[in-house]
A and B are shown apart, each in its own frame.
Chain A
Amino acid sequence: MDTDQLIRTLAADNTQRAQPVGFVLMLALLAAAPVSLLMFFTELGVRPDVMTAMHNPFFGLKFAVTLALAASAIAVSLHLSRPEASLRGFVWWLLVPAGLLMAGISGEMMMPQRAPMMTRLVGNNSRACLISIPLMSLPLLAAALFGLRHGAPARPAVAGAIAGLAAAGLAATLYASHCTDDSPLFVATWYTIGTALVAAIGALIGSKVLRY
């Protein structure tokens, strides 16, 4: 087929409209969410003292951090799904959850504490946190990668890593309602390690599946 013939064929196909990447990404995440929710409710569940925990600002802060991570990572990954996009300018959004966490840590430092710093950092649920966040992320990561495949990311590994951050942010939001460790030091340590793991998996798979 010579190039003129190909061009004629492409022009004839112009009537077919593809959905925007954001729409496909949202549908995919909505389709995967029940799987993660099922994992959450069968294995973990909301902590029993949730009503009292709600009065603790550090319990609320966990959700602010994880939701900010999910929202900023989804925004950045959508930006990166365009072929001419660069990271410049946009990547600062990812500092919002980090900033919230830092503010939480300094806030906690200024308050009198019953438990010493290392005890708060190590917590009681580090192992559960390290396992649950990546596992609940996996269906969401698959969905995010599927959605981004509909786009044309210039840097597949980077886009995959950001998709991992988005998936981990959503999974960590679920996990935060189960975990009784509310110290921002615990969150900054164990949530971050779990999230980094998911981002690494996202980068690895993304470098293969997000090429266009």
Chain B
Amino acid sequence: MREREDEWTGLMRSAISGDSTAYHRLLKAITPVLRAVARRGLARAGQPIDQSEDIVQDILLAVHSKRHTWDVNAPFAPWLFAIARNKLIDALRRRGKRVFVNIDDFAETLPGEAQEERASASEIAAHLNTLPARQREVLQSIAVDSASIQDTAAKFSMSEGAVRVALHRGLANLTAKLRES
């Protein structure tokens, strides 16, 4: 457990200093844990666990948009679990459930728990369609077609800078829409 969390902290430090590969690895590594947390939270609240993937994506977007609030000298896990807890409570509240989420649940969570079939997520996909065309195209190119920034720039005859801006604005818009819904 400790080792895993130290590894996360190390990856996040690299990510903050600009290493996108480390960032990708970190997000990959925390996702199964977040998935287990979301499933357990839904199950405890008596909710169907097929909405867990929406919660996982919501947490990932919040981690991304708020990562500047992480203190590079602090461990990463407490920060992550605070965000996960906030988003889980938010999601359950939106579904009309008042629940208390125990922070200790997170520390114990093992990755891979109930991981076999993944529920599909629908919220982000729905909001994606309401984005301005350029932002949606860029997001889809990178997400769905797994094109790089460079490829995407070439495909739409944009500069790489413009692609980065469209990507960033698109993600910020998605985050805002999720918060409002």
B82 touches A8 (CB 8 A): no
A12 touches B167 (CB 8 A): yes
The chain B residue with its CB closest to the CB of A20 is B68
> Given A8-B142, A83-B86, are A17 and B24 neighbors across the interface (CB < 8 Å)?
no
Closest 5 interchain pairs by CB?
A84-B82, A11-B24, A5-B143, A18-B68, A83-B82
B86 touches A212 (CB 8 A): yes
B125 touches A151 (CB 8 A): no
A14 touches B15 (CB 8 A): yes
Collect the chain B residues with CB atoms within 8 Å of residue A212's CB.
62, 65-66, 86, 179
Asked if A195 is at the interface of the complex by the 8 Å CB criterion, the answer is no
B64 touches A10 (CB 8 A): yes
> Given A1-B128, A211-B179, are A152 and B69 neighbors across the interface (CB < 8 Å)?
yes
Which residues between 135 and 180 of chain B lie within 8 Å of chain A, taking CB atoms? Answer: 139, 142-144, 146, 148-149, 164, 167-168, 171, 179
Asked if B18 is at the interface of the complex by the 8 Å CB criterion, the answer is yes
Collect the chain B residues with CB atoms within 8 Å of residue A6's CB.
57, 60-61, 124, 143
> B30: shortest Cβ distance to chain A, in Å?
10
Collect the chain A residues with CB atoms within 8 Å of residue B21's CB.
11
Q: How far, in angstroms, from A13 to B23 measured CA to CA in the complex?
A: 10
The chain A residue with its CB closest to the CB of B77 is A84
Asked if B100 is at the interface of the complex by the 8 Å CB criterion, the answer is no
Residues of B bordering A, CB below 8 Å: 15, 18-21, 23-24, 27-28, 31, 53, 56-57, 60-62, 64-71, 74, 78-79, 81-83, 86, 90, 118, 120-121, 124-125, 128, 139, 142-144, 146, 148-149, 164, 167-168, 171, 179
B69 touches A13 (CB 8 A): no
A7 touches B27 (CB 8 A): yes
Q: How far, in angstroms, from A3 to B24 measured CA to CA in the complex?
A: 12
A152 touches B66 (CB 8 A): yes
Q: Which of A2, A19, A83, A154 is B120 in contact with, Cβ under 8 Å?
A: A2
Taking chain B's interface residues, is the majority helix, strand, or loop, or is none over half, making it mixed? helix
Q: Which of B19, B69, B90, B124 is A81 in contact with, Cβ under 8 Å?
A: B69
A10 touches B27 (CB 8 A): yes
Collect the chain A residues with CB atoms within 8 Å of residue B124's CB.
1, 6
Which residues between 1 and 36 of chain A lie within 8 Å of chain B, taking CB atoms? Answer: 1-3, 5-21
Q: How far, in angstroms, from A82 to B164 measured CA to CA in the complex?
A: 27
> A149: shortest Cβ distance to chain B, in Å?
11
> Given A1-B128, A1-B143, A21-B69, are A11 and B27 neighbors across the interface (CB < 8 Å)?
yes
Q: How far, in angstroms, from A50 to B102 measured CA to CA in the complex?
A: 56
> Given A154-B86, A211-B179, are A1 and B64 neighbors across the interface (CB < 8 Å)?
no
The chain A residue with its CB closest to the CB of B64 is A10
> Given A3-B60, A9-B167, are A82 and B69 neighbors across the interface (CB < 8 Å)?
yes
Collect the chain A residues with CB atoms within 8 Å of residue B148's CB.
12
> Given A83-B83, A212-B66, are A7 and B168 neighbors across the interface (CB < 8 Å)?
no
A84 touches B79 (CB 8 A): yes
Q: How far, in angstroms, from A6 to B24 measured CA to CA in the complex?
A: 10
Known contacts A2-B53, A152-B69, A152-B86; 15 additional CB pairs below 8 A are: A1-B144, A2-B120, A3-B60, A7-B28, A7-B31, A8-B24, A11-B23, A14-B20, A15-B20, A81-B69, A82-B70, A83-B69, A152-B83, A154-B82, A212-B65
B139 touches A21 (CB 8 A): no
Collect the chain B residues with CB atoms within 8 Å of residue A7's CB.
24, 27-28, 31, 60
Q: How far, in angstroms, from A194 to B146 measured CA to CA in the complex?
A: 56
